[in-house]
């Protein structure tokens, strides 16, 4: 165990020193340590948050011979700040409700609740509906609570696939919260720092990754942490692209890898555009991005969730449902189409083999339909 953790921390340090290959867990801890160094306390609770459900964090380690516990973030705290990392019981409603109260009473602390899997949030739905999404509107009480909800179709079955992204988007209105599905370590770094550095507080819902925690492409360079801030939309620079694939989260890497293996003509023809922040949707940036493709003919929304789940209904409403008349008028020239799974009562199938086949069909359709 000593050797394993030693190699883990050494690799994390070397990535930071080299300025490249910084993975998700590293980016996340860099955000915490930078905030702690500036005097902001950090509070993280949830099942197995000390290690991280997917062993990506290791914020607290224990000597198995002496039982001594070491909080790895504590030494970075300055100006009275505290690093509070606590594993909690499997009582989502109680723990999230408590953290909601902490976020209101102490807005200068970055307060985070993490679900072991995204579907664990089901147990705290009343807290989200009645308090987190509506407290500012109902009682003028602002919360900066962050939810980390592991999300993504990866063949793990219906109970470990979906954080119910569609529910949060349905609850989003009047600027009440931010809903993000991020793709890079630099993005989680900036999202967490933005949470504390702006002059107001909003809940932040993050569809947190699972496989991307160790995906060789889901890494960031040091200059992405230091030379730019959070990006609501990340677009490929392909002025001659004729087809735009809008997507969010993990499926971007599936599309990217398939496109890299395609012909040069196909790669030039298709541009991938990542919507990192779904709500509020940065409509001006989206329109500017679409207008930058002078030969654009087709726009698709690509997701891995079923058609009645995920972000599709929300995107369609934003596009042509009358919720944003200004956007409607200017994107009407592009009829957005859907690519993804069919409608379903369950978030995902229970067969890894069937999941893989469905995923291949989505990517094939996105590139060749």
CATH label of the domain that carries residue 26: 3.40.50.12470
Average pLDDT value for residue range 325-333: 62
Q: Specify the length of the chain in residues.
A: 369
Portion of the chain with pLDDT greater than 90, in percent: 85
Residue 341: strand pairing partners: 306
pLDDT reported for residue 325: 62
Q: Where does 198-338 have alpha helices with state H?
A: 223-226, 251-260, 264-269, 283-291, 312-320, 325-331
Residue 301 near residue 362 (C-beta atoms within 8 A): no
d(C-alpha 8, C-alpha 18), whole Å: 15
Tens-place pLDDT, residues 126-149: 999 999 999 999 999 999 999 999
Mean pLDDT, the chain, as a whole number?
93
pLDDT of amino acid 4: 79
Which of 199, 226, 253 lies at the terminal end of a domain, its last residue? 226
Q: What's the CA gap between 190 and 188, in Å, rounded?
A: 6
As a whole number, mean pLDDT of residues 186-208 equals 97
pLDDT at 2: 59
Same domain? For 262 and 358 the reply is: yes
| Averaged pLDDT, 300-327 | 86
Candidates 59, 56, 115, 48; CA nearest to 84 is 59
**pLDDT-derived band at 64, boundaries 50, 70, 90:** confident
- State residue 110's pLDDT score: 98
At a CB cut-off of 8 Å and minimum separation 6, what does 62 contact? 68, 69, 70
Phi/psi class of residue 80: alpha, beta or left (left: φ > 0; alpha: ψ in -120 to 50)? left
Q: How many domains does the chain have?
A: 2
Both 249 and 282 in one domain: the answer is: yes
pLDDT at 1: 53
Indicate which CATH number applies to the domain containing 260.
3.40.50.11610
Q: Which of 297, 254, 295 is nearest to 274 (CA)?
A: 254
Using one digit for the tens of pLDDT, what is the confidence trace for 88-105?
A: 998 999 999 999 999 999
What is the reported pLDDT for 329?
60
273 — alpha (psi -120 to 50), left (phi > 0) or beta? Answer: beta
Residue range 147-167, pLDDT digits in tens: 999 999 999 999 999 999 999
pLDDT above 60 (res 346): yes
Amino acid 3: pLDDT: 73
Q: Are residues 19 and 40 in the same domain?
A: yes
Q: Which domain holds residue 125?
A: 2-226
Do 216 and 245 fall into the same domain? no
**Is the confidence at residue 87, as pLDDT, over 80?**
yes
Q: Residues 214, 237: one domain?
A: no
Tell me, rounded to whole angstroms, the distance of Cα 219 from its chain centroid.
14
Q: Are the beta carbons of 131 and 124 closer than 8 angstroms? A: no
pLDDT recorded at residue 326: 58
Q: Is the pLDDT of residue 15 over 90?
A: yes
From 226, 248, 265, give the residue that closes a domain.
226
- Looking at the fold, whether 220 and 356 belong to one and the same domain comes out as no
Instruction: Supply the pLDDT for residue 168.
Output: 98
Residues 8 and 111 in one domain: yes
Higher per-residue confidence, 181 vs 66: 181
- pLDDT at residue 82 is higher than 70: yes
What does DSSP say about strands 83-87 and 42-46: parallel, antiparallel, or unpaired? parallel
Task: Tell me how far apart the terminal alpha carbons of the chain are, to the nearest angstrom.
Answer: 49
Burial 52-90 (b: 16+ CB within 10 A, else e): bbbebbbbbbeeeeeeeeeebbeebbeeebebbbeebee
User: Could you identify the residue written with the tokens 């919720």?
Assistant: 323
Same domain assignment for residues 257 and 149: no
pLDDT band at 65 (very low <50, low <70, confident <90, very high): confident
Please report which confidence band the pLDDT of residue 253 belongs to, taking 50, 70 and 90 as the band edges. Answer: very high
Has residue 320 got a pLDDT over 80? no
Residues 242 and 133 in one domain: no
Q: Residue 236 has which token pair? A: 């490929």
Is residue 31 over pLDDT 90? yes
Specify the pLDDT at position 40. 97
Mark which of 226, 245, 272 sits at the end of a domain: 226
Together in a domain, 43 and 157 = yes
């Amino acid at each position: 165990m000593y050797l394993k953790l030693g190699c883990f921390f050494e690799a994390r340090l070397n990535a930071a020193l080299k300025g490249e290959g910084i993975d998700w867990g590293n980016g996340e801890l860099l955000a915490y340590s930078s905030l702690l160094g500036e005097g902001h306390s950090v509070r993280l609770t949830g099942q197995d948050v000390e290690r991280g459900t997917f062993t990506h964090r290791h914020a607290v380690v224990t000597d198995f011979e002496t039982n001594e516990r070491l909080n790895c973030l504590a030494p970075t705290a300055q100006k009275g700040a505290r690093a509070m990392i606590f594993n909690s019981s499997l009582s989502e409603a109680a723990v999230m409700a408590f953290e909601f109260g902490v976020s209101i009473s102490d807005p200068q602390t970055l307060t985070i609740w993490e679900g072991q899997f995204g579907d664990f949030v089901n147990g705290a739905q009343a807290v989200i509906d009645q308090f987190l999404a509506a407290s500012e509107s109902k009682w003028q009480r602002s919360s900066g609570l962050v939810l980390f909800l592991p999300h993504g179709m990866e063949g793990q079955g219906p109970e470990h696939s979906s954080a119910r992204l569609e529910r949060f988007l349905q609850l989003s209105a009047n600027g009440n919260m931010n809903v993000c599905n991020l793709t890079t370590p630099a993005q989680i770094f900036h999202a967490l720092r933005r949470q504390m550095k702006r002059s107001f507080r909003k809940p932040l819902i993050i569809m947190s990754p699972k496989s991307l925690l160790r995906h060789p492409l889901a890494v960031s360079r040091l200059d992405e942490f230091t030379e730019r801030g959070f990006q609501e939309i990340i677009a490929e620079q392909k002025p001659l692209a004729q087809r735009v694939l809008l997507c969010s989260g993990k499926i971007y890497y599936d599309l990217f890898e398939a496109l890299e293996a395609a012909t040069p003509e196909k790669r030039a023809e298709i541009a991938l555009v990542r919507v990192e922040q779904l709500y509020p949707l940065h409509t001006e940036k989206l329109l500017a991005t679409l207008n930058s493709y002078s030969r654009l003919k087709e726009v698709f929304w690509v997701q891995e969730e079923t058609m009645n789940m995920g972000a599709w209904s929300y995107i369609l409403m934003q596009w042509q449902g009358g919720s944003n008349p200004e956007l409607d008028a200017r994107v009407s020239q592009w009829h957005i189409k859907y690519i993804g799974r069919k409608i379903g009562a369950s978030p995902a199938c229970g067969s890894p083999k069937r999941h893989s086949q469905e995923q291949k069909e989505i990517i094939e359709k996105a590139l060749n339909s």
